[in-house]
Amino acid sequence: MDTLSYKTKSAKNTEVERRWFIVDADGEVLGRMGSKVATVLRGKHKPSYTAHVDTGDYVIIVNANKVRLTGAKLDDKEYLSYTGYPGGQRAINAKDLMVKHPTKVVENAIKGMLPKTKLGRAMFKKLFIYAGAEHPHSAQKPEELK
**Could you tell me the pLDDT band of residue 18, with boundaries at 50, 70 and 90?**
very high
89 falls within a domain: no
Q: Is residue 53 part of a domain?
A: yes
Structural domain count of the chain:
1
Higher-confidence residue: 4 or 7? 7
Does residue 115 form part of some domain?
yes
Residue-wise pLDDT for 24-59, tens only, equals 999 999 999 999 999 999 999 999 999 999 999 999
* CA–CA dist 7, 79 (Å, integer): 46
The Cα–Cα gap between 129 and 62 comes to 6
pLDDT of residue 1: 54
Q: Which domain holds residue 107?
A: 20-69+98-144
Could you tell me if residue 5 is inside a domain? no
Residue 30 lies in a domain: yes
The answer to whether position 124 is within a domain reads: yes
The CATH number of residue 54's host domain is: 3.90.1180.10
Cα-Cα end-to-end distance for the chain: 48
